[in-house]
Structure 1
Amino acid sequence: MSLRRQRRGAAILASMLMSVLAGSGAFAQEPDAKNTAPQETVARADGALLRGLDKVSGRTTDLRVQVGDSVRLGRLEIRLGECRYPADDPSSDAFAQLTITDQSENVTRFSGWMIASSPALSALDDARYDVWVISCQI
């Protein structure tokens, strides 16, 4: 997939996610008198726990990163922009905004939101490394 298509897809996914998280109703059905579910509130965390996989060695590494900071996984630099979670149940899911850059080629490999419960929905496309969100760190 071209970087342009990947960025466009990530931007669309982020827009949809933000709409859902903000409760703007982008995908919400019109409420009727019988079926009104309460909107789930989200909270922001100070950091996130990510897991990285080196597909060549088979080694996994847990990466703790604070909002605004970055960590290294081999040749990748992973920067956390934001981490959100359901305020009612912090351990249930996490949504992290990540930018992953290949330092050897100075190319952005991923930029967008990753969701802990659906890692394949928006995944890093790299031949050697895999990165996914485990949880937000409160």
Structure 2
Amino acid sequence: MKVALGLALALLANAALAQNAADAPGARLRLLDKLTGQVTDLTLENGQAQTVGRLTVQVDACRYPADNPTADASAHLTIRDTSQPEPMFKGWMVASSPALSALDHPRYDVWVMRCDVPDRVLPDVPAAPEDQPAEDGAATDGGNG
């Protein structure tokens, strides 16, 4: 019962934010390849798509609270896997609650970091960590491979 009440309150809060939302020309996303551990940051304009591995990620729209551009972003995404004809995900993803509406993919995770807001200097999203090469060619699989 508490979970259902919490979910209902979260949805109502999002609906209230949507009434005072402003449109942004694009979004910043982060993609994780769970198999390799590689993290990729994507900055896409609305309507633009980029392919990483087997996924093609397209930003359809991005919205943010009009009175606070640095606050929570919501992006409408279309995500396709090259092995399937239908999109794996098509809908709104909320930056503060990515599990509320998440991509269900065995290999990849995608989440919204923020909207790109024109004429605003927004805090930069920390860059994805770069892969560190193994020293002296040592195995990096922890001995499991």
SS of 2:98's equivalent?
coil
- Structure 2 unmatched ranges of 5 or more: 1-10, 118-145
The Cα shift of 1:59 comes to 1.2
| Partner residue of 2:89 out of 103, 106, 110 | 110
Identical aligned pairs, as a percentage? 51
Q: Partner of 1:57 in structure 2?
A: 36
Q: Deviations for 1:89-124, whole angstroms, at most 9, x for unmatched residues? A: 111110000010111222311010000000000000
Change beyond 3 A, Cα 1:22–1:135: closer
TM-score (norm 1): 0.71
**Unaligned stretches of 5+ residues in structure 1:** 1-14, 24-40
Q: Give 1:78's aligned residue.
A: 57
Please name the residue that 1:91 is paired with.
70
Q: Give the TM-score of the pair, scaled to structure 2.
A: 0.68
Greater Rg by CA: 2
Deviation at 1:18, TM superposition (A): 8.1
Q: CA RMSD in A?
A: 1.9
Alpha-carbon separation, structure 2, partners of 1:18 and 1:110: 20
Matching residue's letter, 2:37:
G
Q: Which has the higher strand share?
A: 1
Count of matched residue pairs: 107
